[in-house]
Amino acid sequence: MENFKFKDRDVAFKMCHDRASIDRAVADIFKLYSHLLPKGKKELIFIKPNLNNDQNALMGNSTDLRMMVSVISVLKKLGYQNIVMGDGCNVGINRKKIDVFSRLKIDKLAQQLDIRLLDLNSAPSDKIDLACDLSAKVAKICHDAALFINLPKIKTHAEAVMSICLKNLVGCMAGGLEKKKMHTSLIENIVRVNEQVKPHLHIIDGLIAMEGNGPGDGTPTNIGLIVAGQDPYLIDAFCARSTGFEITEIPCLNLALDKGYLDISVIKEINQYPVLVYLEKPPAPKLTTRVLGHNIFMGLRDKARPLFDNSYVTPMLYRFGIIQDVYNTEEAIIEDLHLLQAECNDCNLCVEYCPFQLPVTSPDFSFSIEKGCIECLYCALICPKNAIRFEGELGYLTFYLQKYSDYMAKLGDRQQKS
């Protein structure tokens, strides 16, 4: 791991373009921050990934399953027995009662790794203070854990410009109503939450980031970056610089400067580091979005919600750029998953991207009987030759496959060249 150090603070980072380097980086992170590990093996460890919606990591939205497996595997090897992973999905997903844990195969991953899952939207809560004299509920486990690991994704964000450490804690709010309160003054409230909810360690998934119109309508891009540290302001500033953003372009970091959590000397030092990759910036919100998003229209939006959820109206709103997300309540039912050996070019990307590195290309391998397969479809989605086929009722996946298939099939290009 390389280190950026400033006084008593530091950020560790590493470029990773294969599974072995991902696992080594994560192992090195826990060695570097071993002083944070609980003394008792039965003490509570809470891991908070980004599971905002039902788009998987290869679409650029959620935390990569490979990162989750790597982090949890290290903790298991160290003997920790009380590991909980959780998040609270966004308001739209929650309102439609879509099970993100099931769609992203987090439930099967947790079962295989023998850890517990917690939906933060319905978890026991504590009160915290927000802007505008509001109070809100945050999942109590965030305060109770002996080790709280924040596991965010690097992605662009239409309102916050970037979503990394700071923004990821919005998912800790206990329910849709509490998340809606955040939007009364989003930037100030993001910082407010981070003042009162403080993960001990941040491990950032920058393997496949989202650029452009994030967080729900951007495009995935292969960066291959893992970052870690204890200071979320410093990490977000470092990640912004690494991906080609001016630090002062990020509203939360500007507020952090005003509040003294960052200072100009830190920014000057970070700006000495080279840009690793230039992410496409989020477009400016359209006038209709800005107007409808204003707080004075909050009551009107709530009353119009049934119209926004209409299966005919929603696609139209999406096409006009008024909303980013189109959620489908129809589940996907994968009836068959198989490899066409004649189409395979032995690139091995399917094995590299499989969270459990199953021998997918082996002639003896069978998806239907392999206990380790959680049906995440990473192998099929990453295959540049479309040699791994899945059949059945695609349901909600239909829209995502039409939108992202070409992008996902090219994600391995950089990995094969590096």
Q: Would you place residue 343 in the very low, low, confident or very high pLDDT band (cuts 50, 70, 90)? A: very high
Q: In the predicted model, is pLDDT for residue 306 greater than 70? A: no
The residue among 36, 151, 157, 180 whose CA lies nearest residue 87 is: 151
Q: What is the average pLDDT across 362-380?
A: 87
Q: Would you place residue 223 in the very low, low, confident or very high pLDDT band (cuts 50, 70, 90)? A: very high
The residue among 276, 283, 125, 273 whose CA lies nearest residue 217 is: 283
**Can you give the pLDDT at residue 296?**
62
* CB within 8 Å of 58: residues ≥ 6 apart: 208, 220, 353, 378, 381, 382, 404, 408, 411
Is the model's pTM score more than 0.85? yes
Question: CA-to-CA distance for 32 and 28, rounded, in angstroms?
Answer: 6
Q: In the predicted model, is pLDDT for residue 82 greater than 70? A: yes
CA 328 → CA 99, 258, 389, distances in Å? 12, 42, 22
Q: Would you place residue 303 in the very low, low, confident or very high pLDDT band (cuts 50, 70, 90)? A: low
End-to-end CA, the chain: 18
Q: What is the average pLDDT across 155-171?
A: 97
Q: What is the average pLDDT across 49-68?
A: 97
Q: In the predicted model, is pLDDT for residue 292 greater than 60? A: no
* Max Cα–Cα distance, the chain, nearest Å: 64
Pairwise pLDDT comparison (298 vs 115), residue with the higher score: 115
Question: CA-to-CA distance for 240 and 6, rounded, in angstroms?
Answer: 17
**Can you give the pLDDT at residue 308?**
63
Helix (H) or strand (E) holding 87: strand 83-87
Domains of the chain in sequence order? 2-284 (3.40.50), 287-321 (no CATH), 333-417 (no CATH)
Task: Confirm if 202 and 41 have CB atoms less than 8 A apart.
Answer: no
Q: Would you place residue 208 in the very low, low, confident or very high pLDDT band (cuts 50, 70, 90)? A: very high
Q: In the predicted model, is pLDDT for residue 312 greater than 70? A: no
**Can you give the pLDDT at residue 71?**
98
The per-residue pLDDT of the chain, averaged, comes to: 91
> Environment class of residue 109 by beta-carbon count within 10 Å: exposed (0-12), middle (13-18) or buried (19+)?
buried
Give residue for tokens 């992008």: 407
pLDDT above 90 coverage of the chain, percent: 78
Task: Confirm if 51 and 89 have CB atoms less than 8 A apart.
Answer: yes
pLDDT tens digits, one per residue of 118-142:
999 999 999 999 999 999 999 999 9
Q: In the predicted model, is pLDDT for residue 63 greater than 90? A: yes
Question: CA-to-CA distance for 344 and 326, rounded, in angstroms?
Answer: 33
Q: What is the average pLDDT across 69-74?
A: 98
**Can you give the pLDDT at residue 415?**
59
